[in-house]
Structure 1
Amino acid sequence: MNLITDITDIKTLQGQLRLKLLSMYNQAHAGHIGCSLSCIDLMIATLVLRKREQDTFLLSKGHAAASLYTCLNYLGEISDETLATYYLNGTSLPAHPAPKQHLGIPFATGSLGHGLPIGTGIAQAGKLMGDDSRVFVLMSDGETNEGTTWEAAHFAIQHGLDNLIVLIDKNGLQGFGQTVDVMGDTADVKTWNAIGFDTEVVDGHDISELVATVDRLTANANGKPKLLIAKTIKGKGVSYMENRLEWHYLPMTEAQYEQAHTEVSERYFQPHPA
């Protein structure tokens, strides 16, 4: 288990990983930047700080693959040389996660709504084996529109999968508009509580709060699957991307990259004393 307790260290890590993420996107001239910036703090709290060797982490919102690659690079599972091939022909790091290339990417998750069904199966296997493994599944709020999500949710409840921790990146935007306008708020805490999940709402960019909530939920072996509804901001850390639907798709110009780099540096790094 990785532990970072100093708030300055946490903030620096948030900034470092964002800068690496932005550099990858800039070199590849690729899109899906906003959705990666909205969930990278969730990955820091779980994949980086709380996932143990016996645990499984699944990025169900596969279009945010660059944030997964960045975190796995930080953990030493993806080399700098491999990371530099992101989005290139022949890479093992395509726009959506590809399986059987890296230990930390056991399944392809390019089609939204399938991460939770896979995660429930792994969690059930852990229960049958009698081990203490946990499964983290990071989803988008748009994925809660999907039928397979709800089938998997009811399976998890029926089988008492309290070793399953689901994180919903609730940034309020999906491919074609506000999530509330597409199919309504299906990432609502009352709904998930009502069907039997142990659910909490958290600030999805506060690492300390995220880690404390994960620890509290996982310590409660009450037979209920766990759910964190994380309130996030699409494009978090870059002013012109924040809460803007177009940054689900657009690549950056060189000028936009320079602005993003400057803003992240100013926001996340403490100034050095003179």
Structure 2
Amino acid sequence: MQIGFIGAGLMGGPLARNLIRAGKDVLVYDLSAEAIQRTLDAGPSGKAATDISNLSGCDVVFSSLPLPQHVTGVMLGDGGLYAKMKKGATHIELSTIDPGTSNELKAAAEKHGLGYIQCTLGKTPAHAEKAEEPMFIGGDKALVDKLGDIFKIIGIPSYVGSVDAACAVKLISNMIGMTNLAVLAEGIRVGDKAGLDRKLLLELLTDTGARSFQMDVRGPWIANDDYAPRFGLDLALKDVRLGLEMARAWGQDLKAMEAALEYYKQASAEGFGKEDCNAVIKAVGK
């Protein structure tokens, strides 16, 4: 089986390396030569693609790209990869995209005689590197089962049903997580006004109902003024925006998450978009 991989960045690179470490033939394409080389260093079964069209003969093509429009730009249209891929091949889309885009890709893939699977990712590049990445998989069950061994190589697969569901799980996760982070930032700002040391406040909150994943992970970073990008604020903004667009399209009015979105918009507008999403605190309490 020849596997193609488009996007060897923070998330795509580790997954491609897992396949190469397992001895799978992987053809890697990325705009960054450094990202390609870092991926090929995982083993001899990886090869570099000089152009996306080189992947047209692959049996399976993964894509891991930053924005929905990047995926559609690569795959759709007369010059897109779908028009060049061989019949019966499968596109596995890993990016965090909205259900509307996912369904557009699915319909276009089927029109070209291709399979389409939406596989969104649940945790961090570190988890991906160790093949411990939760994967929320949607699409034709028979096709997903056929490729089950591939999914087990790169992470921890969970079949969730439709491509809508696969997109929604990730977007819901990020909406909740980023809203929790905004609420944590508000609480820390109130603690500042009370004269509480941030580290002490976090320690005291650990044994209360205020505790959360974001408090455990990003609370100490905020307390140490550490805003180095692990998950960039602009990426968080993109995911919350996509999630709320999805919710609105389904008739949902999510007031708390809409309020959190405004914080991320403000923080990005003030120039903190390339910092970690915990920099949202810089837009809180002003």
Q: TM-score scaled by structure 2?
A: 0.35
Q: TM-score scaled by structure 1?
A: 0.36
- Which structure would you say has the larger RCO, counting Cα contacts within 8 Å and 6 or more residues apart? 1
